[in-house]
Structure 1
Amino acid sequence: MSVIDKVAWVRVEDGRVLSTRSRGKDAYYFPGGKREAGESDMQTLAREVREELTVSIVPETVAPLGTYEAQAHGHRDGVTVRMTCYIGDYHGTLEPSSEIEEVVWLSYADRDRVSPVDQLIFDDLRASGHLR
Protein backbone atom coordinates (compact mmCIF):
# COMPACT_ATOMS: atom_id res chain seq x y z
CA MET A 1 0.00 0.00 0.00
CA SER A 2 1.24 3.47 -0.87
CA VAL A 3 0.66 6.58 1.25
CA ILE A 4 0.84 10.18 0.00
CA ASP A 5 1.82 12.39 2.93
CA LYS A 6 0.39 15.92 2.74
CA VAL A 7 -0.07 19.00 4.90
CA ALA A 8 -3.21 21.13 4.48
CA TRP A 9 -4.63 24.47 5.62
CA VAL A 10 -8.26 24.42 6.74
CA ARG A 11 -9.70 27.93 6.85
CA VAL A 12 -13.33 28.34 7.95
CA GLU A 13 -15.12 31.69 7.80
CA ASP A 14 -18.85 32.29 8.29
CA GLY A 15 -19.70 28.59 8.12
CA ARG A 16 -17.86 27.99 4.87
CA VAL A 17 -14.45 26.45 4.22
CA LEU A 18 -11.79 27.65 1.78
CA SER A 19 -11.03 25.26 -1.05
CA THR A 20 -9.17 25.27 -4.34
CA ARG A 21 -9.34 23.53 -7.69
CA SER A 22 -6.15 22.98 -9.63
CA ARG A 23 -6.05 23.35 -13.40
CA GLY A 24 -7.39 20.22 -15.10
CA LYS A 25 -8.82 18.70 -11.91
CA ASP A 26 -12.47 17.82 -11.30
CA ALA A 27 -12.47 18.03 -7.49
CA TYR A 28 -11.75 20.69 -4.90
CA TYR A 29 -8.93 20.30 -2.40
CA PHE A 30 -7.83 22.10 0.73
CA PRO A 31 -4.78 24.30 0.10
CA GLY A 32 -1.54 22.52 0.88
CA GLY A 33 0.70 19.83 -0.49
CA LYS A 34 3.62 17.49 -0.07
CA ARG A 35 6.70 18.21 2.01
CA GLU A 36 9.99 18.97 0.34
CA ALA A 37 13.08 17.25 1.78
CA GLY A 38 13.79 18.42 5.32
CA GLU A 39 10.70 20.61 5.66
CA SER A 40 8.64 20.76 8.84
CA ASP A 41 4.85 20.79 8.69
CA MET A 42 4.87 24.56 9.31
CA GLN A 43 7.41 25.20 6.53
CA THR A 44 5.40 23.05 4.12
CA LEU A 45 2.15 24.76 5.08
CA ALA A 46 3.58 28.27 4.67
CA ARG A 47 5.27 27.47 1.33
CA GLU A 48 2.29 25.68 -0.20
CA VAL A 49 -0.24 28.32 0.85
CA ARG A 50 2.01 31.09 -0.48
CA GLU A 51 2.52 29.21 -3.77
CA GLU A 52 -1.17 28.41 -4.24
CA LEU A 53 -2.93 31.47 -2.84
CA THR A 54 -0.29 34.26 -2.62
CA VAL A 55 -0.94 34.86 1.11
CA SER A 56 1.26 34.40 4.18
CA ILE A 57 0.27 32.18 7.07
CA VAL A 58 0.66 33.88 10.48
CA PRO A 59 2.86 31.31 12.30
CA GLU A 60 1.78 32.18 15.85
CA THR A 61 -1.88 31.49 14.98
CA VAL A 62 -1.32 28.01 13.52
CA ALA A 63 -2.83 25.10 15.47
CA PRO A 64 -3.33 21.43 14.58
CA LEU A 65 -6.82 20.36 13.48
CA GLY A 66 -6.19 16.65 13.00
CA THR A 67 -4.80 13.99 10.67
CA TYR A 68 -7.08 12.25 8.19
CA GLU A 69 -6.53 9.32 5.85
CA ALA A 70 -8.58 8.09 2.87
CA GLN A 71 -8.30 6.73 -0.66
CA ALA A 72 -6.35 9.23 -2.78
CA HIS A 73 -8.58 10.93 -5.35
CA GLY A 74 -7.57 10.10 -8.91
CA HIS A 75 -5.16 7.32 -7.88
CA ARG A 76 -5.44 3.55 -8.18
CA ASP A 77 -7.11 1.61 -5.36
CA GLY A 78 -4.85 1.13 -2.37
CA VAL A 79 -3.14 4.50 -2.69
CA THR A 80 -4.13 6.57 0.32
CA VAL A 81 -3.50 10.15 1.31
CA ARG A 82 -2.63 11.06 4.88
CA MET A 83 -3.37 14.72 5.44
CA THR A 84 -2.17 16.56 8.51
CA CYS A 85 -4.41 19.61 8.82
CA TYR A 86 -3.84 22.97 10.48
CA ILE A 87 -5.92 26.06 11.09
CA GLY A 88 -4.49 29.57 11.24
CA ASP A 89 -4.78 33.17 10.17
CA TYR A 90 -3.22 34.77 7.12
CA HIS A 91 -2.02 38.11 5.78
CA GLY A 92 -2.76 39.28 2.25
CA THR A 93 -5.48 38.84 -0.34
CA LEU A 94 -6.43 35.34 -1.45
CA GLU A 95 -5.54 35.09 -5.14
CA PRO A 96 -5.20 31.90 -7.19
CA SER A 97 -1.65 31.25 -8.43
CA SER A 98 -0.75 29.85 -11.82
CA GLU A 99 -1.45 26.25 -10.72
CA ILE A 100 -4.85 27.07 -9.18
CA GLU A 101 -7.85 27.53 -11.46
CA GLU A 102 -10.40 28.46 -8.82
CA VAL A 103 -10.62 29.56 -5.17
CA VAL A 104 -14.00 28.98 -3.54
CA TRP A 105 -15.76 28.97 -0.16
CA LEU A 106 -17.73 25.75 0.22
CA SER A 107 -20.54 24.70 2.56
CA TYR A 108 -21.43 21.18 3.66
CA ALA A 109 -23.81 20.96 0.68
CA ASP A 110 -20.67 20.93 -1.53
CA ARG A 111 -19.26 17.81 0.19
CA ASP A 112 -19.60 15.68 -2.97
CA ARG A 113 -17.37 18.13 -4.90
CA VAL A 114 -14.25 17.49 -2.77
CA SER A 115 -11.76 14.62 -2.52
CA PRO A 116 -12.48 11.63 -0.21
CA VAL A 117 -10.07 12.79 2.50
CA ASP A 118 -11.56 16.30 2.39
CA GLN A 119 -15.02 14.72 2.84
CA LEU A 120 -13.88 13.31 6.21
CA ILE A 121 -12.80 16.80 7.26
CA PHE A 122 -16.12 18.27 6.05
CA ASP A 123 -17.90 15.71 8.27
CA ASP A 124 -15.84 16.71 11.33
CA LEU A 125 -16.31 20.43 10.66
CA ARG A 126 -20.07 19.88 10.32
CA ALA A 127 -20.24 17.77 13.51
CA SER A 128 -18.39 20.46 15.46
CA GLY A 129 -20.73 23.19 14.19
CA HIS A 130 -18.12 25.02 12.11
CA LEU A 131 -19.47 24.17 8.65
CA ARG A 132 -23.03 24.97 7.65
Structure 2
Amino acid sequence: MTTTIRIAAACLLDEAGRLLLVRKRGTLAFMLPGGKHESGETSIQALLRELGEELDLHLATSALTPLGHFQADAANEPDMRVDAHVYVATLPHAVQPAAELEELAWLDPAGDYPHNLAPLLREQVLPALLAHLD
Protein backbone atom coordinates (compact mmCIF):
# COMPACT_ATOMS: atom_id res chain seq x y z
CA MET A 1 0.00 0.00 0.00
CA THR A 2 1.29 3.46 -0.90
CA THR A 3 1.34 6.18 1.73
CA THR A 4 0.95 9.84 0.76
CA ILE A 5 3.01 12.55 2.43
CA ARG A 6 1.55 16.08 2.40
CA ILE A 7 4.26 18.64 1.71
CA ALA A 8 4.70 22.28 0.78
CA ALA A 9 7.65 23.41 -1.33
CA ALA A 10 9.05 26.55 -2.89
CA CYS A 11 10.65 27.40 -6.21
CA LEU A 12 13.09 30.00 -4.90
CA LEU A 13 14.68 32.03 -7.68
CA ASP A 14 17.77 34.21 -7.43
CA GLU A 15 18.36 37.46 -9.33
CA ALA A 16 19.73 35.48 -12.30
CA GLY A 17 16.59 33.34 -12.49
CA ARG A 18 18.29 30.22 -11.15
CA LEU A 19 16.27 27.77 -9.06
CA LEU A 20 17.52 26.79 -5.59
CA LEU A 21 17.67 23.02 -5.01
CA VAL A 22 18.42 21.22 -1.76
CA ARG A 23 19.69 17.76 -0.89
CA LYS A 24 18.96 16.27 2.51
CA ARG A 25 21.69 14.54 4.50
CA GLY A 26 22.06 10.88 3.56
CA THR A 27 20.12 11.16 0.28
CA LEU A 28 21.03 11.53 -3.40
CA ALA A 29 18.07 13.38 -4.91
CA PHE A 30 17.92 17.15 -5.24
CA MET A 31 14.52 18.68 -4.55
CA LEU A 32 12.82 21.93 -3.72
CA PRO A 33 13.15 23.40 -0.23
CA GLY A 34 10.14 22.75 1.96
CA GLY A 35 8.77 19.78 3.81
CA LYS A 36 6.00 17.93 5.55
CA HIS A 37 2.99 19.53 7.16
CA GLU A 38 2.72 19.34 10.93
CA SER A 39 -0.70 18.72 12.45
CA GLY A 40 -3.10 21.58 11.77
CA GLU A 41 -0.77 23.55 9.49
CA THR A 42 -1.83 25.05 6.18
CA SER A 43 0.53 24.65 3.22
CA ILE A 44 1.73 28.24 3.63
CA GLN A 45 2.38 27.76 7.36
CA ALA A 46 4.28 24.51 6.74
CA LEU A 47 6.36 26.09 3.99
CA LEU A 48 7.26 29.21 5.97
CA ARG A 49 8.26 27.06 8.98
CA GLU A 50 10.36 24.69 6.84
CA LEU A 51 12.14 27.55 5.03
CA GLY A 52 13.02 29.05 8.40
CA GLU A 53 14.34 25.72 9.71
CA GLU A 54 16.17 24.60 6.57
CA LEU A 55 17.55 27.88 5.20
CA ASP A 56 17.07 30.48 7.96
CA LEU A 57 14.85 32.18 5.39
CA HIS A 58 11.89 34.18 6.65
CA LEU A 59 9.51 35.26 3.89
CA ALA A 60 6.24 37.12 4.14
CA THR A 61 3.18 35.21 2.96
CA SER A 62 2.76 37.91 0.31
CA ALA A 63 6.14 36.92 -1.21
CA LEU A 64 4.74 33.49 -2.24
CA THR A 65 2.87 32.98 -5.51
CA PRO A 66 1.04 29.65 -5.89
CA LEU A 67 2.45 27.53 -8.74
CA GLY A 68 0.21 24.50 -8.35
CA HIS A 69 -0.74 21.27 -6.62
CA PHE A 70 1.24 18.23 -7.75
CA GLN A 71 1.60 14.54 -6.91
CA ALA A 72 4.48 12.16 -7.63
CA ASP A 73 6.49 9.28 -6.21
CA ALA A 74 8.62 10.35 -3.24
CA ALA A 75 12.31 10.71 -4.08
CA ASN A 76 13.83 9.22 -0.95
CA GLU A 77 11.12 7.00 0.54
CA PRO A 78 10.05 3.77 -1.18
CA ASP A 79 6.30 3.10 -1.55
CA MET A 80 5.53 6.73 -0.70
CA ARG A 81 3.98 9.49 -2.77
CA VAL A 82 4.12 13.21 -2.19
CA ASP A 83 1.13 15.51 -2.44
CA ALA A 84 2.69 18.94 -2.83
CA HIS A 85 1.50 22.52 -2.86
CA VAL A 86 4.25 24.45 -4.61
CA TYR A 87 4.87 28.19 -4.53
CA VAL A 88 7.26 30.57 -6.31
CA ALA A 89 9.25 33.32 -4.60
CA THR A 90 12.30 35.48 -5.23
CA LEU A 91 15.15 34.95 -2.80
CA PRO A 92 15.74 38.23 -0.93
CA HIS A 93 19.29 37.25 0.15
CA ALA A 94 21.84 34.44 0.02
CA VAL A 95 21.03 31.34 2.07
CA GLN A 96 23.03 28.54 3.67
CA PRO A 97 21.94 24.96 4.41
CA ALA A 98 20.79 24.26 7.98
CA ALA A 99 18.83 21.55 9.82
CA GLU A 100 18.90 18.30 7.81
CA LEU A 101 20.20 19.84 4.58
CA GLU A 102 23.54 18.59 3.27
CA GLU A 103 23.91 20.64 0.09
CA LEU A 104 22.46 23.48 -1.95
CA ALA A 105 22.64 23.66 -5.75
CA TRP A 106 21.47 26.04 -8.46
CA LEU A 107 19.60 25.00 -11.58
CA ASP A 108 18.83 26.96 -14.74
CA PRO A 109 15.16 25.98 -15.30
CA ALA A 110 15.65 26.29 -19.07
CA GLY A 111 18.95 24.35 -19.12
CA ASP A 112 20.03 20.73 -18.82
CA TYR A 113 18.91 18.81 -15.76
CA PRO A 114 21.08 16.48 -13.67
CA HIS A 115 19.97 12.86 -13.36
CA ASN A 116 19.37 13.05 -9.61
CA LEU A 117 16.33 15.35 -9.48
CA ALA A 118 13.33 14.26 -7.41
CA PRO A 119 10.48 12.91 -9.61
CA LEU A 120 8.09 15.69 -8.52
CA LEU A 121 10.60 18.35 -9.57
CA ARG A 122 11.63 16.75 -12.88
CA GLU A 123 8.21 15.54 -14.08
CA GLN A 124 5.82 18.23 -12.91
CA VAL A 125 7.24 21.29 -11.20
CA LEU A 126 9.89 22.26 -13.77
CA PRO A 127 7.45 22.19 -16.73
CA ALA A 128 4.93 24.23 -14.67
CA LEU A 129 7.64 26.68 -13.59
CA LEU A 130 8.83 27.20 -17.17
CA ALA A 131 5.25 27.94 -18.25
CA HIS A 132 4.85 30.31 -15.27
CA LEU A 133 8.06 32.20 -16.15
CA ASP A 134 7.10 32.70 -19.82
Q: Does 1:24 align with 2:26?
A: yes
**Structural mapping, 1:43-62, within 5 Å:** 43-62=45-64
SS at match of 1:10: strand
Q: Which residue of 2 aligns with 1:80?
A: 81
Whole-angstrom distance in 2 between the partners of 1:44 and 1:129? 23
Deviation of residue 86 (structure 1)? 0.8
Percentage of pairs with the same residue: 30
Unaligned runs of 5+ in 1: none
Deviation of residue 26 (structure 1)? 0.4
Q: Which residue of 2 aligns with 1:6?
A: 7
Unaligned runs of 5+ in 2: none
Q: Which residue, 111, 119, 128 being the options, matches 1:124?
A: 128
Contact 2:67 2:129 in 1 (8 A): no
Structure 1 moving runs of 4+ over 6 Å: none
Contact 2:67 2:128 in 1 (8 A): no
Whole-angstrom distance in 1 between the partners of 2:112 and 2:132? 14
Deviation of residue 89 (structure 1)? 4.0
* TM-score, structure 2 as length reference: 0.84
Whole-angstrom distance in 1 between the partners of 2:36 and 2:65? 18
Deviation of residue 88 (structure 1)? 2.4
* TM-score, structure 1 as length reference: 0.85
Question: What count of residue pairs does the alignment treat as equivalent?
Answer: 129
